[in-house]
């Protein structure tokens, strides 16, 4: 793999993983136009996603520490964190079921730019509807089982390239009356089990990577990690200022451009 291509894709992943514009969709589009790009399965894509999830772990390290240390605790605050951890695990069930049940179908869609274009239009619509109808109110600890099952199902279908995982899950929680910043935090924390599972499943392809390509893979992942930290901070500000409609317009422009352009 060309190291320049790896750096470019890492930069793209870091920016688009957390901004609600579909990182997988942007990777499919970019890889289509990179001459000679090849990877075993979607291993490189998964490694980039894993790198950005490390950025989530660093950015939300206090929340993660509180969740993990709440297991033996008995204080009201610890019980609240333990309940939140339960909601994250509950939401991960439909995500895993959909991902494993439709894995082959979803992987086949990574070769279709037209699918990406249509799904970007869908993402834009979700963002706009959520921005217009959002009913802020419930905090992070107020997320219930119905919220968790709904957002977990949405995350499962967000494997389709062009559907933004962060955008669709945040939109679902906003429409359920969850506070915007709480919705974003839950969305990021929920991604950790899903991306961790996908990373483990893709490790079987690691042996197919030529030894000479490993430095490029690692460089791309490092770039994705560093850029991802900045993108998380940016999105949290966007959520507070209620500016999701900006990203809806962007998704529509890109989606229409590739839908109407013969490739």
Sorting pLDDT into bands at 50, 70 and 90, what band is 180? confident
DSSP characters over the chain? --HHHHHHHHHHHHHHTTTTS-HHHHHHHHHHHSTT---STTHHHHHHHHHHHHHHHHHTHHHHHHHHHTTT--SHHHHHHHHHHHHHHHHHHHHHHHHHHTHHHHHHGGG-HHHHHHHHHHHHHHHHHHHHH----B-GGG--HHHHHHHHHHHHHTTSTTS-HHHHHHHHHHHTTB-HHHHHHHHHHHHHHHHHHHHHHHGGGGGGS-GGGHHHHHHHHHHHHHHHHHHHHHHHHHHHTT-HHHHHHHHHHHHHHHHHS--
The answer to whether residue 50 scores a pLDDT higher than 70 is: yes
% of the chain exceeding 70 in pLDDT = 92
pLDDT band at 35 (very low <50, low <70, confident <90, very high): confident
pLDDT, position 120: 92
0.95 exceeded by the pTM?
A: no
Q: What is the pLDDT of residues 76-115, one digit of tens each?
A: 888 888 899 999 999 999 998 998 888 778 777 777 788 8
Answer yes or no: is pLDDT of 203 > 70. Answer: no
* Chain-centre distance for alpha carbon 95: 12
């Amino acid at each position: 793999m060309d190291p320049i291509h790896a750096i470019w894709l890492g930069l793209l992943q870091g920016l688009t993983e957390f901004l609600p514009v579909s990182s997988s969709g942007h990777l499919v589009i970019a890889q289509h136009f990179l001459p000679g790009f090849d990877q075993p399965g979607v291993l490189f894509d998964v490694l980039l996603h894993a790198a950005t999830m490390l950025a989530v772990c660093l950015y939300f390290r206090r929340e993660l520490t509180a969740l993990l240390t709440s297991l033996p605790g008995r204080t009201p605050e610890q019980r609240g964190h333990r309940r939140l951890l339960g909601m994250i695990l509950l939401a991960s069930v439909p995500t895993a079921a959909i991902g494993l049940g439709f894995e082959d179908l979803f992987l086949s869609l990574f070769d279709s730019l037209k699918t990406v274009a249509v799904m970007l239009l869908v993402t834009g619509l979700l963002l706009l509807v959520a921005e217009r109808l959002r009913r802020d109110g419930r905090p992070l600890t107020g997320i219930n089982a119905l919220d968790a099952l709904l957002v977990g199902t949405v995350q499962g279908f967000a494997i389709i390239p062009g559907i933004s995982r962060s955008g669709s899950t945040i939109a679902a929680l906003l429409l359920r009356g969850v506070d915007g910043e709480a919705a974003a935090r839950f969305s990021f924390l929920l991604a950790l089990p899903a991306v961790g599972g996908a990373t483990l499943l893709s490790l079987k392809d690691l042996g197919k990577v030529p030894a000479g390509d490993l430095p490029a893979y690692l460089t791309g992942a490092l770039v994705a990690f560093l850029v991802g930290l900045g993108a998380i901070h940016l999105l949290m500000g966007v959520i507070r200022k209620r500016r999701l409609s900006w990203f809806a317009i962007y998704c529509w422009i890109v989606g229409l451009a590739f839908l109407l352009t013969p490739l």
